[in-house]
């Protein structure tokens, strides 16, 4: 099994190398710039290690037990179980030395955009009479919104839809405003530390506060969660909020593993199969681990559990024939872990645990499976760490160790020569070093030119991909064009309602279906496109640097051949191009489609049941939409709705076109262009470090020798001890790298 050095072991090796670099600077003060370079590279490695995360998404439907599984992995009740359906963010949990929660709030611009979307074509004349968009920060506007919602409830506006998402959103914003208003501003954060950490549960799980949040990051000391691992508690894949699916898919694109939780009570549903199909299209199939979360109250024998597991395996077989499945009760495992830690359980938990433990057969199977899952999960995380370090951080640390060791051995041999002979050899070596520096400068210029060229190409690629006529934008345009509502359900023949109610419902359902389509099928295609662009960028940069890498390899070969004349027996490095992972904080923009019909258009739409002077506006709208005729009430109603639908479609198609233009700009300037800059900057940094670490300038060593001739023997003795110590550390790092690749 691949094995990565523990974070502590690698940190100790880095610290030891930093000490050795400082000792080099003390031995040769005039060569201190070289020592500072080595230390700078090691500092970069430490920074990259701190940024490097192995992300694990925990996904599944609402109430499948995702939060409970994360609590089980942590061994503590950190996440409140059963978070609200409107929690519009992924809660990210990391291991750290001290408890801390960082809650990031939406801006007022984002909050009020959601309010306007929810009020689209809202059938209340007071919103139109306001003569401007409603602003939540105004006390009189909040009072008006409360009155409007109360009136709509009383009139039965949402009687067909049960608990309406827009109503929950608007009422939650009103309820949460007093508590959250002081925290909502551009870039606002709330940090909760120590004993205050528990407050995050109230903010995250109460709809009144959660609707204002867009990101939650928790850091806790947790024995069950290794450093450098992030667990993402994702919204349910069947969440009624269309934007949640897009958020989960975007997060999954950055993850290394995904734990898919299935409740034994409900099993897999149609929504699960659709979601799993999208994950396999994204290439996530090999990264999925399934947890069948058991309700041991209903499953009391091994045979019952085995039958349920076999059914799940059969259902998954068409999509994922070899999917790993682990079958245990997350809640029982959590309660038993808490008890082993000496934590008191409440009476209900004690009673539940006693019932489960009374079923010895099923409880034993659950424990066996939980242990098997724990071993496999740890193995997968360790494998990921090994692969990451072998190709990135570990390689850089090995490079510094090699450079420091070669310089120490070379300096030791040079100290045995007289100054004149040394200067002659140094001049020859410097001649071989100049091509290294020249090739490095050429590489820098080539990468800068490639960055500009690639950005121009990406601009065209994004435009073509989102083109509303011939690209993926055409999918959305076609969806709008062909959308056909269920008129029987929207306006039942046996139910007389004002047209303004039906029109509001029509717009809401149309918008919901459009957003769900955009958040599902279109988002999957967008994520596939972005992943393809990342691969294309790497191919283009590889093609750009390939001939220069050949020149640089030749220059290193000549440099080391000349170094052999000094008695340094070492092979030149084999140059390869290693691409870094995207920055941890680089977020993929989501196609959110914030559709806002505006108060003017909304006002015209609801006036069908208009009053007083506003009736004239409705008559103009009827004339414009062709809503005329003297047929029966039902025929006239459907004709009016059909005309209104045509007007809504016309407006939506233009809105989608504009939104795609804006989204294309965000994709370019917030994701793809920064990715180009990141790749080129890191490649340039790596090549520069390689040249300056291994093809070091020995002029400082020569000056130190000339200035301290009397100290020559003392330096030789110290170097005689330093060089083997460096080699020992270098060999240990090489063995770790070899183990990681097995």
DSSP 308-345: HHHHHHHHHTTT-TT--EEEE-HHHHHHHHHHHTTPPP
Q: What is the rounded average pLDDT of the residues 343-351?
A: 88
Amino acid 252: pLDDT: 86
- Which range has the worst mean pLDDT, 34-48, 375-389, 695-709? 695-709
With contact defined as beta carbons under 8 Å apart, do 218 and 78 qualify?
Answer: yes
* Burial label, 294 (beta-carbon count in 10 A; 0-12, 13-18, 19+): buried
Please give the C-alpha separations between residue 620 and each of 409, 485, 613, 624, in angstroms, as whole numbers. Answer: 91, 25, 12, 6
User: H/E element holding 595?
Assistant: none
Q: What is the rounded average pLDDT of the residues 226-247?
A: 81
Q: How far apart are CA 193 and CA 98, in angstroms?
A: 8
Mean pLDDT of the chain: 82
- Please name the residues in contact with 213: beta carbons below 8 A apart, sequence gap of 6 or more: 87, 88, 89, 103, 104, 105, 106, 203, 204
Three-class secondary structure of residue 73 per DSSP: helix
- Please name the residues in contact with 676: beta carbons below 8 A apart, sequence gap of 6 or more: 451, 454, 455, 458, 537
Q: Which residue has the tokens 């091994």?
A: 302
Amino acid 741: pLDDT: 56
Q: Write the pLDDT tens digit of every residue in 616-646.
A: 455 555 565 555 545 567 777 787 788 888 8
DSSP, res 668: I
List strands edge to edge, sheet with 189-193: 189-193, 100-105, 213-220, 91-95, 229-233, 54-60, 257-263, 288-293, 325-328
- Which range has the worst mean pLDDT, 319-333, 408-422, 607-621? 607-621
- Which range has the worst mean pLDDT, 200-204, 441-445, 538-542, 645-649? 200-204
Q: Write the pLDDT tens digit of every residue in 239-276.
A: 767 677 778 888 888 888 999 999 998 899 888 898 89
Q: How far apart are CA 36 and CA 44, in angstroms?
A: 12
Amino acid 35: pLDDT: 83
Amino acid 290: pLDDT: 96
Phi (first) and psi of residue 259, to 5 degrees? -95, 115
Q: How far apart are CA 411 and CA 423, in angstroms?
A: 12
Taking the alpha carbons at both ends of the chain, their separation in whole angstroms is: 7
Q: How far apart are CA 328 and CA 289, in angstroms?
A: 13
- Please name the residues in contact with 29: beta carbons below 8 A apart, sequence gap of 6 or more: 704
Amino acid 452: pLDDT: 94
Give the predicted TM-score (pTM) of the model.
Answer: 0.78
- Please name the residues in contact with 641: beta carbons below 8 A apart, sequence gap of 6 or more: 487, 490, 491, 499, 502, 503, 506
| Count of residues making up the chain | 742
Which of 37, 700, 698, 706 has its CA nearest to residue 432?
Answer: 698
CATH class of 52-96+221-384: alpha beta
Three-class secondary structure of residue 709 per DSSP: helix
Q: Write the pLDDT tens digit of every residue in 563-619.
A: 777 666 667 777 777 787 788 778 888 887 777 766 555 544 444 333 333 444 555
Q: How far apart are CA 397 and CA 388, in angstroms?
A: 13
Range(s) within the chain of domains with CATH label 3.40.50.300: 52-96+221-384
Token pair for residue 439? Answer: 């090739």
Amino acid 162: pLDDT: 47
Q: Are strands 54-60 and 213-220 parallel, antiparallel or unpaired?
A: unpaired
195: pLDDT strictly greater than 50: yes
- Residue % of the chain over a pLDDT of 70: 86
């Amino acid at each position: 099994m691949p094995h990565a050095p523990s974070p502590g072991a690698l940190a100790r090796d880095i610290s030891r190398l930093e000490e050795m670099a400082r000792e080099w600077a003390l031995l040769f003060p005039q060569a201190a710039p070289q020592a500072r370079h080595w230390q700078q590279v090691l500092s970069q490695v430490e920074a990259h290690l701190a940024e490097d995360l192995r992300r694990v998404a925990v996904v599944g439907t609402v109430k499948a037990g995702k939060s409970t599984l994360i609590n089980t992995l942590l061994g503590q009740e950190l996440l409140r179980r059963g978070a609200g359906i409107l929690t519009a963010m992924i809660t990210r949990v990391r291991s750290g030395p001290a408890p801390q929660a960082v809650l990031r709030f939406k801006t007022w611009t984002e909050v009020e955009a959601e309010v306007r979307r929810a009020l689209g074509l809202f059938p209340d004349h007071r919103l139109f009479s306001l003569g401007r968009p409603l602003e939540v920060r105004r006390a009189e506007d909040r009072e008006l919104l409360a009155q409007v919602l109360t009136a709509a409830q009383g009139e039965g506006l949402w009687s067909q839809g049960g608990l309406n998402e827009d109503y929950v959103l608007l009422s939650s914003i009103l309820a949460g405003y007093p508590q959250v208003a002081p925290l909502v501003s551009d870039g606002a954060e709330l940090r909760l530390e120590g004993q205050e950490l528990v407050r995050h549960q109230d903010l995250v799980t109460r709809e009144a506060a959660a609707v204002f949040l867009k990101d939650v990051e928790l850091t806790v000391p947790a024995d069950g969660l290794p450093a450098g691992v992030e667990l993402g508690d994702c919204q349910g894949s069947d969440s009624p909020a269309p934007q949640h699916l897009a958020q989960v898919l975007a997060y999954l694109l950055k993850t290394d593993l995904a734990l898919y939780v299935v409740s034994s009570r409900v099993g897999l549903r149609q929504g699960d199969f659709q979601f799993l199909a999208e994950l396999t299209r994204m290439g996530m199939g090999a990264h999925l681990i399934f947890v069948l979360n058991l309700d041991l109250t209903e499953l009391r024998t091994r045979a019952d559990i085995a039958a349920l597991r076999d059914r799940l395996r059969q259902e998954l077989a068409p999509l994922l024939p070899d999917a790993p499945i682990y079958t245990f009760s997350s809640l029982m495992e959590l309660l038993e872990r808490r008890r082993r830690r000496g934590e008191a359980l409440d009476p209900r938990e004690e009673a539940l645990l006693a019932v489960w433990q009374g079923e010895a057969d099923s409880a034993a199977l659950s424990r066996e499976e939980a242990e098997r899952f724990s071993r496999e999960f740890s193995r997968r995380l360790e494998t990921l760490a090994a692969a990451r370090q072998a190709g990135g951080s570990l390689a850089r640390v090995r490079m510094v160790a090699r450079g420091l060791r070669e310089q120490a051995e070379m300096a030791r041999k040079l100290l045995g020569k007289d100054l004149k002979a040394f200067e002659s050899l140094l001049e020859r070596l410097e001649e071989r070093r100049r091509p290294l520096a020249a090739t490095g400068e050429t590489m820098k210029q080539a990468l800068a030119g490639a960055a500009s060229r690639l950005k121009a190409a990406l601009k065209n690629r994004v435009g073509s991909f989102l083109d509303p006529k011939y690209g993926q934008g055409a999918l959305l345009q076609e969806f709008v064009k062909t959308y056909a509502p269920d008129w029987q359900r929207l306006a039942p023949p046996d139910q007389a309602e004002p047209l303004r109610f039906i029109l509001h419902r029509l717009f809401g359902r149309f918008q919901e279906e459009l957003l769900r389509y955009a958040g599902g099928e279109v988002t999957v295609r967008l994520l596939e496109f972005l992943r393809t662009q990342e691969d294309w960028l790497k191919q283009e940069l590889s093609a750009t640097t390939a001939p220069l890498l050949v020149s640089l390899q030749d220059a290193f070969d000549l440099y080391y051949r000349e170094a052999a004349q000094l008695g340094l027996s070492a092979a030149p490095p084999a140059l390869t191009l290693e691409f870094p992972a995207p920055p941890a904080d680089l977020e993929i923009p989501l196609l959110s489609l914030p559709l806002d019909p505006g108060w003017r258009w909304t006002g015209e739409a609801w006036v069908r049941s208009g009053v007083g002077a506003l009736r004239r506006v409705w008559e103009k709208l009827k004339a414009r939409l062709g809503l005329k005729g003297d047929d029966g009430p039902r025929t006239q109603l459907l004709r009016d709705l059909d005309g209104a639908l045509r007007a809504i479609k016309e407006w939506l198609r233009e809105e989608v076109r504009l939104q795609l233009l804006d989204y294309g700009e965000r994709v370019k300037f917030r994701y793809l262009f920064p990715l180009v800059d990141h790749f080129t900057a890191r490649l340039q940094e790596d090549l520069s470090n390689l040249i300056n670490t291994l093809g070091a300038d020995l002029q400082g060593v020569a000056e130190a020798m000339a200035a301290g001739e009397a100290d020559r023997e003392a330096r030789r003795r110290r170097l005689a001890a330093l060089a083997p110590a460096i080699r020992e550390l270098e060999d240990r790092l090489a063995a770790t790298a070899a183990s990681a690749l097995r």
